[in-house]
A and B are shown apart, each in its own frame.
Chain A
């Protein structure tokens, strides 16, 4: 049975990144992850709910945190952070873990780190959906409004950064297996550097002038505060009197995201360049 047309178009089909291939690989990863578990995909959805319960209990009942509705505040920033950190951590092993394929089949190698990102984007979208539904059900409707649109540029910046780093670490880890360990440490530190479990106002009080800008050179800082503005939204004000959100307006976030977007774009260029340079030798180095 003859399939696609000319040999040249089939050469391209084998060498070019295709959406179909990416989607197939993501589906495969999801299948492998939930193989043998009864609830399967529901675990990923239950995950943010459990976090919500645990964190609300710890930070509002036990530690008496100043942020009202702390669970919602936390998840506003945490879900996108998890997407980022999960993607980068998985991407570190994307090439090394698929050595069997890389050494035996000729295919567009760029699809491997993209699959890691796609896998976590699927989870992010579904978990965000669950969060919004829960907020709605519990009567927290502050997220409804124009400010929710801020999530679009925030997620876009996060995706560019995530993809860039995914390419970078996937390629570097083939040659230097230390990459994996460095990535683990950096991501762990990143969780505490970014204002996810605490309000950014605690930090911004100490940042003046150039330092205020330098802080947002880390694109995830801008992404996290913008997501909080988009979802947690209503600045009810902390009980201590400090605001919880970085800024009540929009422009503040757009500026920070533009800066973060620029940095992310540079990282993406660096990542893709590094990956393309190193990928020709993957089969040999594995």
Chain B
């Protein structure tokens, strides 16, 4: 394992014996010796190297193996085959619970949990006030946690996990439980961890969040790694698996087969020039999309829209090619959208193309598989829009 790899999984598979078949008593074991065990393949040959300081999102449909992966990486589940190694203290918040004893008070559970994670009593003493402050549970800390609400439970669990000075933080869908105020605190804490070079792995169904805070995302599908890399495209991949990449209403309208087939999409300074991925504000941007289309469908297209989307798939601006600008017959088309000057606000953008029929119904949609970035101009990094404005100030009443 290299110096900068903190968790490494090699050829990890995890198979479960289906629960209904498992013999839990001696009698069953003796009577039904390995009769018909059905295996559930939760993970198939997973290879992952998690680098120190990275924030990795694990995403996938329900039952795709996200939580199992997290548990295997945490060393709680043993892989059926393959190896997992890790370096440093691992704090984990798995499936909305932190391993609390419901009879004990919040305070006692903090000490218990910290000691399980390898802290001494004195170390915990030194951290206790910070943990309490962060959880905002001062008035309930001496009440048994069985009386806590699920939100309070998670607050305390998260607070312990982030204050025990973990090298690696594993979080399973926890931000969805706390209220907005607490979610923000968690995100701020995660940002702080990122600055401190700690490693974070988290499972979430909040794809916007994954795009926003992860440096890398892994898409799991039926226990296989489907994609591993840029969070933007990871979420795109997942949406394809989930079938949510197209707006709901056009799914049935999409022509059968590949009658409308998108090819490469390139970003460059001028139509046809060399492809680049990074732009500076004010530079020209040209987006070229290629597509193949049959005569039948070509005749039906009334308008082609290109929607440029930023963080969280938020549409930032849209451009349209009208009927009279489109070729008459089908075949292989090149569509050019030229922006004379990149926006000053900057950001990372993907483009989605929408083919619209005469009555406005969408016929097909395509989203780029790579992003282009615009470096924000100093002073314009906040906001979606940069407008022209004037400023003034005056002294109404002298001091």
Please report A residues at the B interface, Cβ cutoff 8 Å: 1-4, 7-8, 10-11, 13-14, 18, 20-21, 24-25, 28, 31-32, 35, 100-107, 175-178, 280-281, 283-284
The secondary structure that dominates the A interface is helix
Interchain nearest-CB distance for A178 vs B (Å)? 4
Contact among B16, B89, B101, B113 with A10 in the assembled complex (CB-CB below 8 Å) = B89
| Chain A, residue nearest B93 (CB) | A104
Cα–Cα, bound, A1→B164 (Å): 9
Asked if B108 and A31 sit within 8 Å, CB to CB, the answer is yes
User: Can you add 7 more A-B contacts, CB < 8 Å, to A106-B75, A175-B24?
Assistant: A14-B90, A35-B103, A100-B101, A101-B101, A105-B116, A178-B27, A281-B78
The CA of A102 and the CA of B127, in the complex, are separated in Å by 24
Question: Is residue B119 contacting chain A, with contact meaning CB distance below 8 A?
Answer: yes
- Point out the residues of chain A lying under 8 angstroms from B97, CB to CB: 100, 104
Taking the nearest CB of chain B, how far is it from the CB of A79, in angstroms?
A: 27
Q: Are B89 and A11 in contact (CB under 8 A)?
A: yes
Are B88 and A11 in touch, CB under 8 angstroms?
Answer: yes
| Chain B residues, Cβ within 8 Å of A176 | 24-26, 29
Q: Are A20 and B115 in contact (CB under 8 A)?
A: yes
Contact B98 A104 (CB under 8 A): yes
Complex-state Cα separation, A60 to B75, whole angstroms: 58
Interface residues of B in 80-128 (CB under 8 A from A): 86-90, 92, 94-95, 97-101, 103-104, 108, 111-113, 115-121, 123, 126-127
A280 to B76, CA, bound (A): 8
CB distance from B125 to the nearest CB of A (A): 12
With both beta carbons as reference points, the residue of chain A lying nearest to B78 in the complex is identified as A280
Q: Are B88 and A10 in contact (CB under 8 A)?
A: yes
B306 at interface (Cβ–Cβ under 8 A)?
Answer: no
B144 to chain A, nearest CB (A): 9
The verdict on B74 contacting chain A, using a C-beta distance below 8 Å, is yes
Contacts of B164 in A (CB 8 A): 3
Q: Which residues of B are at the interface with A, using a C-beta cutoff of 8 A?
A: 6, 16, 24-27, 29, 71, 74-78, 86-90, 92, 94-95, 97-101, 103-104, 108, 111-113, 115-121, 123, 126-127, 130, 164-165, 167
Instruction: Using known A-B contacts A20-B115, A28-B104, determine if residue A104 contacts B121 with beta carbons closer than 8 Å.
Output: no
* Nearest chain A CB to B71 CB, angstrom units: 7
Residue of A nearest to B123 (CB): A3
Which residues of chain B are near A3, meaning CB under 8 Å?
A: 119, 123, 127, 164-165
| Whole-angstrom CA separation of A32 from B16 in the bound complex | 35
Interchain Cβ contacts under 8 Å between A and B, 12 examples: A3-B165, A4-B89, A7-B88, A14-B89, A20-B121, A100-B100, A102-B76, A104-B92, A104-B99, A106-B76, A107-B118, A280-B78
**Chain B residues within an 8 Å CB radius of A280:** 78
Q: Nearest 7 pairs between A and B by C-beta?
A: A13-B118, A7-B88, A104-B99, A280-B78, A14-B118, A107-B116, A105-B99
Q: Given B103, B116, B118, B127, which contacts A1 in the complex, CB threshold below 8 Å?
A: B127
Structural contact, B115 and A11, CB atoms closer than 8 A: no
Task: Give the shortest distance, in Å, between A1 (CB) and chain B (any CB).
Answer: 7
* Shortest Cβ gap from B148 to chain A (Å): 14
Residue of A nearest to B68 (CB): A284
